[in-house]
Amino acid sequence: MTRFPRAPRQFLRAALGLLVLTGGLSLLPAVAGAQGDAEVQRALDSWYSRAKRRAPGEWGIAIADQTGRVLWSVAEDRPLLPASTVKMFTTGFARSTLGGNARVATRVVGTGMVDPFTGQWMGAWALELNGDLSLERASRQGPQLADLARQLSARGIRQLQGPLVVRSADGPADAVFPSVWASRHKGRLFAPPIGALTLNENTVEFTIRPGAKSGARPIIIGESPRGVSQLVTNRARTVAGRRSSLRLSPTSSGGWILSGTIGTSARPRRLTRVANNPEAVLRVVWGTALQDAGIQWDHSFALTSTTTPEPTVVMAQVESPPLDSLASEVNTRSLNIGAELLLRWAGGASHAAEKLMAHISSITGSTAGIHLVDGSGLSTEDRIAPSVFVSYLTRFPMTPEGKNFPLLLPANGEGTLGRLGGMPGQGVVRAKTGTLGNVSTLVGYLGRPDGVLVVTLMYNGGYSYTARQEQWRLFRTLGADAVEIPADHSLVEEPPQLGGDDEAAPALPAPPVGFGIY
């Protein structure tokens, strides 16, 4: 592989200060580097010589200053598998298209009126789901279907009749396993079904304790979403002792069979599985929410309807946190379903990946080295060149939509950067990792007294774990005297917003509903 050293003196001084991200980052004074040019050059040469020896494979590296000028590189124009670093592009695309304060709405809509004597809704009704990542979270930190049910009750509704018609803004409210993902990932927690029909990130969780005595059935003491335990057939047994061996196997009807054993003295066990049939989960969760709110419903169900009139009344509505808050979580947790939902939200149900690539090209000014088929980076068809990352990460924050963009990435010490220790303090790095069996990428910003560095480290090969350790090591080397990447002080009091637009979030439009996401 060929190394292309460039402007070593600028490597130390990095253009005399931190990049001003459209008012989002403060300008710091330039400070002369402690090492000489030759010493820094030797350090980089030594690091790469060791890294490629310990992790043979394909490396793509680009280290740039805040202007985008590449200072040191290896095969910077070679497209490689990026893995989860694609999420940075997706969150930037969503922010550019929708704004940092945008929210996803989940609604009950209908045409008709409440019978004042019986409390029955006289007319058609439908549940509008739009792929809210935060809907029905196990932590309850987000909107719940129970919130919708309580709003219906507050309107005087005591009875709902007819099938639950489920719709979305851009087509059927479904959730499927993406065809561009490897089939071997199906059923894994990091690869649930993707679509407008999303509850608890399309996973389910149960907490199970032993029964009162040997031979008794274990007891489900916790569930998420609420009501989903109705789909569990309990065939497990309580046995003597402290050991447990519980299994949760999916059924063709969308439920699960709990089998195995749990000891009478064992601690409660938590089991989490993918909801391979989100429709079945929705049916029982919605029914439970209505029941808790004192509303009768016959539990009939339909995903689509051609006979129901277009709804004109918003009967109940809840909203997600702002897009910036969701985007920050997607990057920090490296949440695949979250990235795919953001892509769908911003780009629509079809051709969204093409729109994402067009966004990247509009920022970088080039179409070379860009090939994406999803928004999460889980597909092995994705390819990005290191130079594309450098160009995007230096140019996007200079746009109005990119204000404070680095703050949407995890800081060292949190999320997927939790193992990046040995730094002078938290917040000196804002970066995104990408990991597959044969991929280790690390892309982001490093704050230094003499300027921000934009670092792209990509590795494809059979030594991804070793490559990640070498990537950590380079960040520690370059960041020995690192400084915190500053934020716009006006944002400190409202961390969930993380910047976004200066203007307040726009009000939701008045009916007719139009089945939109706002």
pLDDT at site 172:
76
Of residues 451 and 339, the one with the higher pLDDT is: 339
Mean pLDDT of the 372-379 span: 98
DSSP string, 347-400: H-SSSHHHHHHHHHHHHHS--TTEE-SSSSS-STT-EE-HHHHHHHHHHGGGSG
Average pLDDT, the chain: 85
pLDDT at 451: 83
Q: What predicted TM-score, i.e. pTM, was given to this entire model?
A: 0.86
pLDDT for 162: 83
Neighbouring C-beta atoms of residue 482, cutoff 10 Å = 21
What is the structure's pLDDT at 449? 85
What span, in angstroms and rounded, lies between the C-alpha atoms of 220 and 213? 15
* Residue 502 confidence class, pLDDT cut points 50, 70, 90: very low
What are the tens digits of pLDDT across the range 435-451? 999 999 999 999 988 88
- Report the share of the chain in percent with pLDDT over 90: 73
pLDDT band at 21 (very low <50, low <70, confident <90, very high): very low
- The predicted model gives 227-251 an average pLDDT of 96
pLDDT, average across residues 120-146: 92
Among 257-261, 399-403, 479-483, which stretch is predicted with the lowest mean pLDDT?
479-483
Residue 399 in this model has a pLDDT that exceeds 60: yes
Residue from 220, 38, 234, 222 nearest 140 by CA:
222
Assess whether the previous peptide bond of 512 is cis (omega < 30° from 0).
yes
Give pLDDT, residue 350.
87
| Tens digits of residue pLDDT in 34-68 | 343 455 567 788 899 999 999 999 999 999 988 89
Contacts of 41 by beta carbon, 8 Å cutoff, 6+ apart: 5, 8, 11
What would the mean pLDDT of 314-331 be, rounded to a whole number? 96
- Write the secondary structure of 370-384 as one string of H (helix), E (strand) and C (coil): EECCCCCCCCCCCEE
SS (H, E, C) 175-189: CECCCCCCHHHCCCC
Of the two residues 506 and 417, the one the predictor is more confident about is 417
Of residues 180 and 46, more confidence is placed in 180
Structure confidence by residue, pLDDT tens digits, 147-157: 999 999 999 99
For residues 58 and 508, the model is more confident at 58
Least confident of 20-29, 282-291, 408-417: 20-29
Q: 3-class SS at 466?
A: helix
> What domains lie within the chain, and their CATH numbers?
8-100+322-491 (3.40.710.10), 105-198+277-319 (3.50.80.20), 200-274 (no CATH)
What's the rounded mean pLDDT across residues 302-328? 79
Kindly indicate the confidence band of residue 11, based on its pLDDT and cuts at 50, 70 and 90: very low
| Residue range 481-495: mean pLDDT, rounded | 55
Q: Can you say whether the dihedral through the CA atoms of 366, 371, 377, 380 is positive or negative?
A: negative
pLDDT at 138: 81
